[in-house]
Structure 1
């Protein structure tokens, strides 16, 4: 119904923003990763999904069309509503989410607050074959494996990897990940 909005950010929180479009302020829930990249007064175009409930109309905003499509897929899983779908997208980038689904990585989903073992399995069963393989799947998996072999904690390593620039080459991504690991002392 409302697929995108373009306007100026008048309020910015950790997971919500108000976007003024032609004098009307729209409250939009976003991921914490997306919010961190934005600034007050910034003019943006945001992809949106309107979720209609019996007593509520909520707008959810996304950086890319891929994130919006993944949101729809996650909401289609029994037991995952819009808020848990947003929590999942905050914890895993689109690339890592696609990778986790295609590699049947249950632990990636169990690391998300609110997703237990049964829901993680249900996500993998429901979404298996519904998302295409990402071009950087192998790169991310190789870097993650290197981080784990060096003694990195899996959850912390996944979060760190999701926060890095996914457009880097494998060697540059590994170098940046190791530098961050050294700074944050995630290696035990």
Structure 2
């Protein structure tokens, strides 16, 4: 089992990235947002799940452990393959998946390409009681949005190639402007921070 990979990004196209590990280029399937965040020629670390089929070995990568956990739960649902599970995480964050399951909201999963009404309902039924990734009550949100989320997002940004100084500033500014709902989710804060940083700013940092 390959549980994680760390190395130089050789290419990032669509939903496929190639990361060189020990002189070997590993092809990893990721969400489009993750692929856009990776920078060719720079170091990256992804949590991974190896899917074994009779005719193939496929590696799926994620920035956070929560995303990996949800992916593996989704692939255990009848009718949900690894590509469909990846599609769910391209549309919904782990917190949003947990909330949809807790609220018996199969409509959220029907928004994902390839997920029909029956499969969406089955996802909700199959994942009920298995997800601890749900939004806490409003009174606990301030605490949940503290150092834990900030530290995880900071580590993810550094793993994607940003300097600690630039990453820390982006995390602080993102959390300051995010809503209570957004700031409790590591994937959401990560996406907002990446949008704030932008490829142009990252290029400028490299050339500085």
TM-score, normalised with respect to structure 1: 0.73
Q: Where does the alignment leave 5 or more consecutive residues of structure 2 unmatched?
A: 140-173, 184-208
Determine helix, strand or coil for the equivalent of 1:123.
Answer: helix
Is 1:17 the equivalent of 2:27?
no
Q: Where does the alignment leave 5 or more consecutive residues of structure 1 unmatched?
A: 140-164, 174-188
Provide the residue aligned with 1:58 in structure 2: 58
Q: Is the 8 A contact 1:19 1:27 kept in 2?
A: yes
Pairing of 1:162-177 with structure 2 (within 5 A): 168-170=178-180
Query: How far apart in 2 are the matches of 1:104 and 1:110?
Result: 13
Q: Is the 8 A contact 1:102 1:133 kept in 2?
A: no
More helix by share: 2
Provide the residue aligned with 1:31 in structure 2: 31
1:125 is displaced (CA, Å) by 0.5
Query: How far apart in 2 are the matches of 1:4 and 1:172?
Result: 27
Provide the residue aligned with 1:144 in structure 2: none
Highest RCO, 1 vs 2 (Cα 8 Å, sep ≥ 6)? 2
Query: How far apart in 1 are the matches of 2:130 and 2:49?
Result: 19
Deviations 1:69-106 (A, max 9, x none): 10110000000010110111111111111111111111
Deviates more, 1:73-82 or 1:91-100: 91-100
TM-score, normalised with respect to structure 2: 0.66
CA RMSD for the aligned pairs?
2.2
Provide the residue aligned with 1:182 in structure 2: none
Determine helix, strand or coil for the equivalent of 1:79.
Answer: coil
Provide the residue aligned with 2:80 in structure 1: 80
Q: Is the 8 A contact 1:96 1:137 kept in 2?
A: no
Provide the residue aligned with 1:112 in structure 2: 112
1:50 is displaced (CA, Å) by 0.5
Query: Runs of 4+ in structure 1 displaced over 4 angstroms?
Result: 136-139
Aligned in 2, Cα 1:121/1:29: closer, same or farther, shift over 3 Å?
A: same
Determine helix, strand or coil for the equivalent of 2:77.
Answer: coil
Determine helix, strand or coil for the equivalent of 1:112.
Answer: coil
Query: How far apart in 1 are the matches of 2:175 and 2:74?
Result: 22
